[in-house]
A and B are shown apart, each in its own frame.
Chain A
Amino acid sequence: MTQSDPIFRLEGVTRRYGNLTALNGIDFVAEDNSYIALLGPSGSGKTSLLRVIAGFEAPDTGRIWFQGRDITDLPAHERGIGFVFQNFALFPHLTIFENVAFGLRNGAIKVPDAEIIDRVRASIDMVGLAGLEDRNPDQISGGQKQRVALARSLVMQPKLVLLDEPLGALDANLRERMQTELRTIRERLDVTFLHVTGSETEALAMGDRVAVLDAGRIVQYDTPDAIYDRPIISDVALFLNRFNLFEGTLKDGRFHGPFGAAPVSSVRANDTDVYAIRYDRTRIFDADSSELPGPALPVRYLASEYLGSSIIFLFETADHKTVEVDHHLSLGEPRNLSVGQNYILSWDPAQAIVFGKEAAQ
């Protein structure tokens, strides 16, 4: 493998299950060691993609390269790619130590016993489970099982580890802690993690770069900031759960939506006309305000949600769509709103993102 070979590369990968196309001609290049998050709603094909890279399933068309080698025809056990399962998949009939040692003991290359013991101990230490080696999988907690699964894969020193919703089975508290640990471990070991998740907060928090998967295609691959600021199509914006989205018509440089007409400076190509403004860029005004920064959207106040560092205010438009305003508490005290009262939401039109059928202007 030369210096310039990407860690892995997919070309034209398609995978169908009967009438359902899970992967639709995926092209993807992962340049160097990093933490890659693969984000997509359920049914987007993200688990299929992982399984195809791992070799548990074969693509209908397309090729897969790993470290410069074409591995499309290689069986899973010859690929040298680690996999961490959502349900952990620990071997129930073996102790924790033997679980982690399994690959070393039963692989194609004979590893001397002393080396096995050393490497397994080191791996178990690294995930913080020292002392639990002799327990059985049914005697440890979910979070600990996840670490065992991780240690088991990492002890084989793979260059790429695939993680299939690894934090999905953990409770919220544990999930946050594991997120930090996963990043730390990866950085220490100089290995690429491809982490699949359906949670946009998780993907944006963990990935050095995020690949957004939608209906079997990778629609955007960028840093979390870039995706968050500049979603490439309205579906990505929808999925990120950070944007208020409005349907309407784009005509002559103006977008006509439930807030009236708003001026539009640039348009991204999209299947439909969609107007997007971030929750935290939408601001609340009294119903009779005259000094508005931009378009005026009449709404009725419903309720608020306290999220720790910010408050989400929920409003309802005239046609019963929900609109959210995210007020970060560092910006000052939130307003006191009365339930059922009418208000007006407005924003700086320059901060809006407009998607349109005709990428005009």
Chain B
Amino acid sequence: MESKILKPILAVYVGLFILFLYGPFIVLSILSFQQGPEGGPQFPIIEWSTYWYQHLFGLTPPSRIAPLPVGEALVRSLTLAFMTMVTATVLGVMAAQAFRKRFRGAGVVFYLIVLGMMVPGVLTGLGTSLLANNVVGIERHWWSTAFLAHVVYTFPFAFLVMLAILNRFDGSVEEASWSLGVSPITTFRKVTFPLIFPGVLSAMLFAFTLSFDEFPRTLFASGRDQTLPLAIYGTFSVEIHPNIFAFGVMTTLFSFALLAVYGILMGLSVRRAKKMAMQEDIA
């Protein structure tokens, strides 16, 4: 059978493919252990050291290399991502709930929402700052104009995730609740929402991640104060040092921790969703 030959070949291919994906990360991890402060962000490794990690936390003697301007930017990014996550998820859940019944104009609304993920950040950012400057006459800030653009970008993702979840949701428990005299709003609170919560969690994680690392929209719509990606971008034109790589490794580990938390929360909620699925199987 062909798949006997094909499968191992593809398996090797996927192995190489994953290596290809991790290439940059592997390289920057290695280089983050470059000797400092003289070592540069290129090979060869002069001497292995954790200098740049210490430099990140301000634990090294002052040198001519300025620390990364990330402190406040990090806080802004976290706040912005959190605001975006909440707003985008709420909008996404509401919109997906509306799509459970057929209605006129559903196609238009669907594409209007999905449009948000199809327009590149360059354009959204440009348009938003044009509007802010010339029509509305407001200043651009990370918590106003950039926030609006972030939600435009992440709302469609949250919407699609919730749409997929609600599609597979068996509505008979909601009908059972109504037949017991419980209003639709209370039914949503007490029955629907607990059962779709894993999906909501996914949508939230998605929205948070997309907003945290968002760059082009924020570049245009952000105004004076910078978010994290903007701060990093700022170092592009100046000399680059391995501290940026050390920073990259640290943020990756942070994301890993975030995902671990998410995984735990999911595990708790998935048990409930499994019970739901078991009921479907019987019917």
Which listed segment binds B: A85-93, A126-134, A297-305, A312-320? A85-93
User: Which B residues touch A231, using CB under 8 A?
Assistant: none
Shortest CB distance B125–A (Å)? 43
User: Which A residues touch B184, using CB under 8 A?
Assistant: 75, 77
User: Which B residues touch A137, using CB under 8 A?
Assistant: 275, 279
Closest to A76 in B: B178
User: Which A residues touch B280, using CB under 8 A?
Assistant: 87
Given known A76-B175, A93-B194, contact A88–B279 (CB-CB < 8 A): yes
Q: Which of A74-119 contact B (CB under 8 A)?
A: 75-78, 80-83, 85-93, 102-103, 106-108
Indicate if the CB atoms of A82 and B275 lie closer than 8 Å.
no
Question: What per-residue 1/0 map shows which CB atoms of B160-200 lie under 8 Å from chain A?
Answer: 00000000001011011111111110110011001100000
Shortest CB distance A172–B (Å)? 16
Cα A78 to Cα B184 in complex, Å, equals: 11
B12 at the interface (CB under 8 A from A): no
Closest to A85 in B: B172
Q: Which of B172, B176, B183, B282 has the most CB of A within 10 A?
A: B176
Q: Which of A81, A91, A92, A108 has the most CB of B within 10 A?
A: A92
Interface of A is mostly: loop
Shortest CB distance B187–A (Å)? 8
Indicate if the CB atoms of B279 and A102 lie closer than 8 Å.
no
User: Which A residues touch B195, using CB under 8 A?
Assistant: 92-93
Question: What per-residue 1/0 map shows which CB atoms of B259-283 lie under 8 Å from chain A?
Answer: 0000000000000101110111011
Indicate if the CB atoms of A89 and B275 lie closer than 8 Å.
no
Indicate if the CB atoms of B180 and A169 lie closer than 8 Å.
no
Indicate if the CB atoms of B176 and A86 lie closer than 8 Å.
no
Given known A82-B179, A83-B179, A153-B180, contact A169–B283 (CB-CB < 8 A): yes
Given known A91-B191, A92-B195, contact A156–B180 (CB-CB < 8 A): yes
Cα A153 to Cα B181 in complex, Å, equals: 10
Shortest CB distance B183–A (Å)? 5
A138 at the interface (CB under 8 A from B): yes
Contact among A77, A81, A86 for B182, CB-based, below 8 A: A77
Cα A169 to Cα B181 in complex, Å, equals: 26
The 9 closest A-B pairs by CB, nearest first: A87-B283, A103-B180, A92-B275, A83-B179, A89-B176, A107-B181, A76-B178, A89-B172, A77-B178
Q: Which of A318-348 contact B (CB under 8 A)?
A: none
Indicate if the CB atoms of A108 and B183 lie closer than 8 Å.
yes
With A90-B173, A107-B182 already in contact, 14 other A-B pairs whose C-beta atoms are closer than 8 Å: A55-B178, A76-B175, A77-B181, A77-B183, A85-B175, A87-B282, A89-B170, A90-B176, A92-B173, A102-B182, A136-B275, A138-B275, A152-B180, A156-B180
A142 at the interface (CB under 8 A from B): yes
Q: Which of B173, B181, B186, B195 has the most CB of A within 10 A?
A: B181
Indicate if the CB atoms of A81 and B272 lie closer than 8 Å.
no
Cα A4 to Cα B33 in complex, Å, equals: 90
Cα A92 to Cα B175 in complex, Å, equals: 14
Indicate if the CB atoms of A76 and B179 lie closer than 8 Å.
yes
Shortest CB distance B42–A (Å)? 55
Cα A108 to Cα B190 in complex, Å, equals: 14
Contact among A54, A83, A87, A103 for B279, CB-based, below 8 A: A87
Shortest CB distance B194–A (Å)? 5
Indicate if the CB atoms of A92 and B180 lie closer than 8 Å.
no
| A-B Cβ contacts below 8 A, count | 98
B residues whose Cβ falls under 8 Å from a Cβ of A: 170, 172-173, 175-184, 186-187, 190-191, 194-195, 272, 274-276, 278-280, 282-283
Contact among A88, A92, A102, A145 for B177, CB-based, below 8 A: A102
Cα A107 to Cα B181 in complex, Å, equals: 5
Shortest CB distance B176–A (Å)? 4
Indicate if the CB atoms of A92 and B278 lie closer than 8 Å.
yes
Shortest CB distance A101–B (Å)? 10
User: Which A residues touch B190, using CB under 8 A?
Assistant: 102, 106
User: Which B residues touch A55, using CB under 8 A?
Assistant: 178
User: Which A residues touch B182, using CB under 8 A?
Assistant: 77, 102-103, 106-107
User: Which A residues touch B283, using CB under 8 A?
Assistant: 86-88, 169
User: Which A residues touch B181, using CB under 8 A?
Assistant: 77-78, 80, 103, 107-108, 156
Cα A78 to Cα B179 in complex, Å, equals: 8
29 residue pairs from A and B, CB less than 8 Å apart: A56-B178, A76-B175, A76-B179, A77-B178, A77-B182, A77-B183, A77-B187, A80-B181, A81-B179, A83-B175, A85-B175, A87-B170, A87-B279, A87-B283, A90-B173, A91-B191, A92-B276, A92-B278, A93-B195, A93-B272, A102-B177, A106-B186, A106-B190, A107-B180, A108-B181, A138-B274, A142-B282, A152-B180, A169-B283
Indicate if the CB atoms of A75 and B179 lie closer than 8 Å.
no
Given known A77-B181, A77-B182, contact A138–B176 (CB-CB < 8 A): no
Closest to A155 in B: B180
Shortest CB distance B269–A (Å)? 10
Q: Which of B175, B195, B278, B280 has the most CB of A within 10 A?
A: B175
Cα A27 to Cα B239 in complex, Å, equals: 84
Shortest CB distance A95–B (Å)? 12
